[in-house]
Copies of this chain bind each other. A is one copy, B any other.
């Protein structure tokens, strides 16, 4: 019944689009093929198998490590096995930051351990740690307002909570404290810093994440770690007793000389205009705490699953080339994205459109565009074909995803297939980012949407610039 209704809606939309847009843009035959791809998506298991394989056979794969190198080998083998063309690694260098010992405890008045994790890029306390009185601030803004010299030798605690939302907008607000606290605390004379995790989980997982781009050349900032939400609550309650609270923090990360990273590329060469590129990305690296299942194994599974569906279902390749890019070193500051933009500067004008899957494994609920104003109706017409997947039209403000930053800045049009991120920040950047958190049927809804979009963008003669 529901299926019939969806089909009826689809046919109506297909007719409307055929009437509204130039015949050369999206033909009825193309719309029907897109529909077929969306239907076939629910029958496939490739996307889930890919993320199962990546998390099981590689696991955590921090930028610049041997594990990330194994992930590239895995990706080359997997993409080759699946029948993609021009599979290759495009290497670049990235500084190597490695986590060390991580330990914290309330020393007085109520001794007990605290669960923490160092922020990516943090300085080390040395093995003896930093033991000092804690000074709490309700927000980064409050810390920034602290009088100069008022925090000499202290441990700063920024106790700012993150709000939960479907679009993840709370993250953009909360992440500022992760990026800036160590540097502000250093300016004010503090010895170390703690933040309430940038995350929404009430479980006892600390949330890591990069402070500034790993190749940032300025001050190192004070050693800084994130407390889990229950531990931040605990420290807040302890401070509420109105007596001085002393904490000992020991974190011993190391920043090592640059090491090799790389982007992995694979293609479905275009049948008519192979120089014109529809780019779809995800990132291959992950934080070291979990197994990088939702961030961004899911994205890797989605884009490979979608492209594989095209290989399997289409009688021949679309007109334009579909290029999968699995970016390296995303987590430490979009280092792979910048390398790609530099290495491909000469052909970015041929990048017809680009997008990335990097927001977990939730259902796609909205289709945003980031195209030339006069191409919005055409881009929206593609989006309307996704309506049977319960994807609503969005706005022309898409970023395309983190790794699209440099392409977007170079004028490449983008779209955003926006996922529901309600529980994304319960898992993201924590030890709890593991395969069991991914629902295969929802992954397939994503694959259906990406497959239809990639096919239409690669088959159409129209442009988005």
- Give chain A's interface residues, CB within 8 Å of chain B: 52, 55-60, 67, 109-113, 115, 202-205, 229-230, 233-234, 237-238, 241, 290-291, 431-432, 434-437
Contacts and interface: CB of A to CB of B under 8 A. Distances in A.
A265 to B, nearest CB: 24
B58 A431 contact: no
A126 to B, nearest CB: 20
Contact of A229 (B58, B233, B436): B436
A57 B112 CA distance: 9
A56 B238 contact: yes
A41 B270 CA distance: 72
A59 B112 contact: yes
Contacts of A241: 56-57
Given A52-B237, A67-B112, A230 B435 contact: yes
Contact of A204 (B60, B110, B115, B431): B431
Contact of A435 (B67, B111, B233): B233
Nearest to A55: B234
A138 to B, nearest CB: 19
Nearest to A115: B431
A52 to B, nearest CB: 7
Contacts of A55: 234
Nearest to A110: B57
A241 B431 CA distance: 24
Contacts of A52: 237
17 contacts: A56-B238, A57-B109, A57-B110, A57-B241, A58-B112, A59-B111, A59-B112, A59-B234, A115-B431, A203-B203, A203-B205, A203-B432, A204-B205, A204-B432, A230-B436, A233-B436, A237-B435
A195 to B, nearest CB: 18
A388 B230 CA distance: 34
A431 B202 CA distance: 12
Given A52-B237, A115-B431, 18 more contacts: A56-B110, A56-B241, A57-B109, A57-B241, A58-B110, A60-B112, A60-B113, A202-B436, A202-B437, A203-B205, A204-B290, A204-B431, A204-B432, A204-B434, A230-B434, A233-B435, A234-B291, A234-B434
- With a 10 A CB-CB cut-off, give which of A202, A203, A437 has the most chain B CB atoms: A203
A432 to B, nearest CB: 5
A66 to B, nearest CB: 9
A301 to B, nearest CB: 15
Contacts of A230: 432, 434-436
A105 B211 CA distance: 28
Nearest to A202: B436
Nearest to A57: B110
A238 B109 CA distance: 46
B113 A234 contact: no
Contacts of A234: 55-56, 59, 291, 434-435
Contacts of A115: 431
Nearest to A61: B112
A83 to B, nearest CB: 22
A268 to B, nearest CB: 29
Nearest to A231: B434
Contacts of A58: 110, 112
A434 B432 CA distance: 17
A74 B278 CA distance: 66
Contacts of A60: 112-113
A206 to B, nearest CB: 11
A175 to B, nearest CB: 23
A234 B55 CA distance: 8
A437 B67 CA distance: 36
Q: Which 10 A-B pairs have the closest CB atoms?
A: A59-B112, A230-B434, A56-B237, A204-B432, A57-B110, A204-B431, A203-B203, A230-B436, A203-B432, A202-B436
Contacts of A112: 58-60, 67, 291
